[in-house]
A and B are shown apart, each in its own frame.
Chain A
Amino acid sequence: MSNLSNEDHLDEFLENSLSGYISTTPKGEIIKANSRIAMWLGLEREQLIGKRMTSILAVGSRIFYETHLAPMLRLKGFFEEVAAELSLSDGSKMQVLINGYAKKDENGQPQEMRLNIYRATERKVYEDNLRHAISDAENTIQTERELAILREQFIAVLGHDLRNPLGAIKTGSSLLGRSVLSDRDKSIVSTIAKSSLRMEELIANVMDFARVRLGGGILLALHEVMIEPIITHIIDELMISYPERSVITYFNAKKSVRCDINRLSQMLSNLLANALTHGSVDTPVKIITEIQDDILKITVINGGRAIPTDVLETLFEPFTREANTPSKQGLGLGLYIASQIAKAHGGHLTASSDTKETSFTFQMPL
């Protein structure tokens, strides 16, 4: 510490500070300024005295100062962290942040307006970059959204338009099936009929997907029903296609359930078909149905190899299927739609898998 008095010390500090200091009269005439602000502006310190505060600001900041900051100083007594632009004598501009407060006399009248000015050029660049990043991101999102809607509309239209020609094929094959046919022709007609059914399923899935994604969601027609006959019926249906397989059921569901029978059947049929298709042939598929604490829980379990963890994570997302076995699994929409049906019922679908068994569990509150 030198032998300077406190006041001299403070003056020296302000004078050599890295920030600019300006004092003005209440009307905005500059009465004091340090060398830093004068240097930034490209003026001598003395040249600043008597100028109006607004004269050192770029036009935008000048208007902002007159219409907003000066009133703030008058009425609130201060403002903080306001971004502004200085207009330098070489014609260029400098980004700054300003804090200001009104020093009042003993009667509470403003005596002096004191302004601290900080260089903010780096910050300005940073803010500009942020702004650009935001606007880029907004544009990307907008484009993506438009694309997604277009894609989904395309799917909906496609699904819808495929139904009519398929209807004609089905009717045709059914009519042909009634005629007297050679064995070879019978076999061809039966393949056409099966393929048409398979295709009808795929189209229904595509339509369901589009319905969910385009905002409509899956609509339910709710009825109070017992769950056991529904499951038994689904098993009977699938056993026609998998006569060599066996399914073991366990029921502990004495209460009725309020659900959409067709949708719930669609979901359970999908789960069971998956279990029969992917499970090991020599392990029976198990279906456990329980109602406990007003929660319906249906678990479909099959043996066989485990589903890899990364696949398990995205199992319920649309268009996911094992890359190596394309045609067998269709579009990869089955589980997505199943989970949407569960969701529409206020429930959810989960999956777990290890080397021993793979299970899918549907739960819904009653």
Chain B
Amino acid sequence: MSVLERNNVHQLGNGSTTMMFAHGFGCDQNMWRLIVPAFAENYKIILFDHVGAGLSDLNAYDPVKYNELDGYAHDILEIAEALQLKEIIFVGHSVSAMMGIMAAAQSPGLFKALILVSPSPSYINDGDYIGGFSRIEIDELLASLDQNHLGWSMTMAPMIMANADRAELSEELTNSFCRTDPTIARQFARATFLTDSRSILKTCHTPTLILQCSEDIIAPVEVGAFIHQQMDNSKLTILEATGHCPHLSAPAETISAIKEFL
């Protein structure tokens, strides 16, 4: 199983510069569907699913490796190596933003820029630091994931659906949309919500754009400001968009913020 099959890597677009899109917790590469067309004309686009999500190879899931976000960051570097990518513009949503920073900290030469969509280095409040959640709340989330097995597994069931209103979606993609293996999702949630990556922010000097939504229950505004303050080469843009997924709820605003930065 090659790296490209393992991570269900897709390449499209024209251009000499590469943009690599990494989806966040709870979904897969389909998340970027409203953003990618705006860049496909001028950039080479790399899309992939984290192991355990979407159409990645579930057999490649190694509970030890993926117990840490670093395991996922390593996959990003492996994809880059397999495709011999250079000067990557990395776009990472949510937890994947941190993976991008980890990858860039390990191989600074590989990345031209980082675009962090709704990032958070740590979700748990700690002294002056506002992460958005108390430790008790995160424990409650993890417990509810443990118990909510049926709710998650339903999303695994193959869904046949009429798709007349979005004919451009291929049936295969639609049926697997945001497919999540419940056991893997639980461990991914643990790695996502219990990791404190605040200390690595200062070690990354790659030019970085932070896209922060104005109202996001998962990564509050204070988090965006914290990352900006910690990363010496960063720019913070507060979007009017609300929620945690501006690339879905406000694609136009997200696209123009990225274009302006580039």
Contacts and interface: CB of A to CB of B under 8 A. Distances in A.
A104 B166 CA distance: 12
B251 to A, nearest CB: 10
B247 to A, nearest CB: 9
Give the residue among A27, A68, A75, A80 with the most B Cβ atoms within 10 A.
A75
B144 A58 contact: yes
A71 B217 contact: no
Contacts of A104: 165
Contacts of B137: 59
A71 B26 contact: yes
A60 B148 contact: yes
Contacts of A66: 217-218, 243-245
Contacts, number: 101
A70 interface: yes
Contact of B150 (A67, A74, A108, A127): A127
Interface string A274-294: 000000000000000000000
B145 interface: yes
Interface in A214-237: none
A128 B218 CA distance: 28
B185 to A, nearest CB: 9
A80 B217 contact: no
Interface in A71-110: 71-72, 74-77, 79-85, 104, 108
Nearest to B216: A66
A60 B25 contact: no
Nearest to B28: A71
Given A60-B144, A82-B154, A70 B165 contact: no
A148 interface: no
Interface string B185-223: 000000001000000000000000000000001100000
B54 interface: no
A321 interface: no
A304 interface: no
A68 B178 contact: yes
B217 A54 contact: yes
Interface string A113-141: 00000000000000110010000000000
B169 to A, nearest CB: 8
A62 interface: yes
Interface string B137-160: 110111111011111001100000
Interface in B97-149: 133, 137-138, 140-145, 147-149
B94 interface: yes
B52 interface: no
Given A59-B137, A62-B217, A72-B178, A67 B25 contact: yes
Nearest to B161: A76
Contacts of B229: none
A87 B183 CA distance: 25
Nearest to B248: A74
A330 interface: no
Contact of B31 (A60, A71, A79): A71
Contacts of B142: 60
Interface in B156-180: 161, 165-166, 174, 177-178, 180
Contacts of B94: 67
Nearest to B242: A27
B224 interface: no
B155 A68 contact: yes
B30 interface: yes
A58 B245 CA distance: 20
A154 interface: no
Given A27-B243, A67-B218, A71-B26, A84 B248 contact: no
Contacts of B180: 68
Contacts of A63: 141, 193, 218
B184 interface: no
B27 interface: yes
B144 A75 contact: no
A60 B24 contact: no
A82 B24 CA distance: 20
B249 interface: yes
B33 interface: yes
A67 B23 CA distance: 11
Contacts of A127: 150
B147 A128 contact: yes
A262 B94 CA distance: 69
B144 A67 contact: no
A64 interface: yes
Contact of A67 (B26, B30, B138): B26
A12 B138 CA distance: 40
B177 A82 contact: no
B27 A67 contact: yes
B177 A76 contact: yes
A66 B149 CA distance: 18
B243 A70 contact: yes
Contacts of A26: 249
Nearest to A69: B26
A61 interface: yes
10 contacts: A28-B243, A59-B141, A59-B144, A63-B141, A66-B244, A72-B178, A83-B151, A104-B165, A108-B165, A131-B149
Given A60-B141, A108-B166, 20 more contacts: A27-B243, A59-B141, A60-B143, A60-B148, A61-B144, A64-B144, A64-B151, A66-B218, A67-B94, A67-B245, A68-B27, A68-B178, A71-B31, A72-B155, A74-B245, A74-B248, A76-B161, A79-B155, A108-B165, A128-B147
Nearest 8 pairs between A and B by C-beta?
A60-B144, A83-B151, A67-B26, A68-B26, A60-B141, A74-B248, A66-B244, A59-B137
